[in-house]
Every structure is written in C-alpha cells, then in structure tokens.
Amino acid sequence: MATETSNRPYQLVIFGASGFTGQYVVEEVARTADGEDYRGQELRWAVAGRSQKKLEKVLSWAAERLGKPQLKSIDIVICDINDAPSLADMCKKASVVLDCVGPYRFYGEAVVKACIENGAHFLDISGEPKFLESMYLKYDRQAADNGVYIVGSCGFDSIPADLGVLFTRNSIQGNNL
C-alpha cells in the first residue's frame, strides 16, 4: 500500500547536512531549488542532523557562497541516528530523505528502516556494495509493500562511471550516442 507523501511539510530532507558531503549537497540543492518545479511550486526542503548550531552554520555558509540570504530560513530538523523516534519523526515529515550520513554499513540501516516504516522514499550516496546489497535483500519486499523507493548510490559514487561515459561519447567522432 503506497503512502501519500504530497501533504508532508517537506518534499526533501537532507539528513547529515552538516557533514563533509552533506554541506555540498545543501549547496547544490540551494543552487537548483530556486524557482518552480515542474508542478509550478517551489521545492519544500529542510536540513537534518544532530546539531542545530552546525546546521545553521551550513545554511549560512551556503547562503554566503550563493548570495542567497533566504537560505538562513530553511527549516532544520533535529535528528540523531541513535534515536529511533527522531528518525521516525524526520521521515514522517519528508517525501524523500537524502541520507548523507556514512559510513553506511554502520549508520545506514536505521535510516532505511525508518523511511520504510514511515513512508518516506530513501536516497543515499553510498559507495558500499555490501551495504547496498544487504539493504536490498533485507528490505526490498517491505519497501515494495509500503510503496517506498530505496535508491542507493545515487549520484555520488556513480560520478566516475558517468564521466567515463561522457569521455567515451566525446572521444568517438561522427557517432551520436
């Protein structure tokens, strides 16, 4: 049974936004979230993590880098990987949770489980094949039954392969790939 997510406060929550990779994800979302999406609405998004102060710092950093002072007013969700109720609360507020908290073999499963149980789609940037396979084997049926997508290794670890495809395409002259 699919969970209705359109009435949730956020279309996207970036979990682990104050981490090394998370801060760059925040910057990229902020850069591309201006204006309207394909439905004619602005993206409703928030950042999540353990520290209000660190999350505020990331939003200020992105606001200064991009010249967008409005980023300082993006909502913050306090959530800890070791606090299941806070994970559930975060997932209930989001249509999609983009998990930037790694290493995933230690910290990923709790977020996958919370997303499935609370009807939020899950994305991560994992490059950990064992984690990715174990999440598929353990949660595929439950995710499908709940209408939740679990998408691992989204964007980050696929970059080298994508660059290889672009290089090959650009190297082959006279052939439109």
Question: What is the model's pLDDT at position 58?
Answer: 97
Question: What is the model's pLDDT at position 140?
Answer: 97
Q: Is the pLDDT of residue 72 over 90?
A: yes
Question: What is the model's pLDDT at position 159?
Answer: 63
Sheet holding 10-15, edge to edge: 75-78, 45-49, 10-15, 94-99, 121-124, 150-151
* Confidence at 77, pLDDT banded by 50, 70, 90: very high
3-state secondary structure 98-111: EECCCCHHHHHHHH
State the helix-helix crossing angle for 84-93 and 104-118, rounded to 10 degrees.
50
Mention the CATH class of domain 10-171: alpha beta
Question: What is the model's pLDDT at position 167?
Answer: 79
Question: What is the model's pLDDT at position 8?
Answer: 97
Query: What is the per-residue pLDDT across 127-136, written as a single tens digit (0 to 9) for each?
Result: 888 999 999 9
How many C-alpha atoms does 7 have within 13 Å on its Cβ side? 2
Max mean pLDDT among 3-7, 51-55, 69-73 falls in 51-55
Burial class (CB in 10 A: 0-12, 13-18, 19+), 58: buried
* Confidence at 67, pLDDT banded by 50, 70, 90: very high
Alpha-carbon span 66 to 75, nearest angstrom:
18
Average confidence score pLDDT of the chain = 89
Tell me the domain boundaries of the chain: 10-171
What mean pLDDT is predicted for residues 82-93? 98
Phi, psi (rounded to 5 degrees) for 11? -75, -30
Alpha helices in the chain (DSSP H): 20-32, 52-66, 84-93, 104-118, 129-146, 159-171
Phi, psi (rounded to 5 degrees) for 42? -75, 150
What mean pLDDT is predicted for residues 53-72? 96
How many C-alpha atoms does 106 have within 13 Å on its Cβ side? 5
Question: What is the model's pLDDT at position 35?
Answer: 60
pTM of the model: 0.85
Query: What is the per-residue pLDDT across 139-166, written as a single tens digit (0 to 9) for each?
Result: 999 999 999 999 998 865 566 666 777 7
What mean pLDDT is predicted for residues 112-136? 94
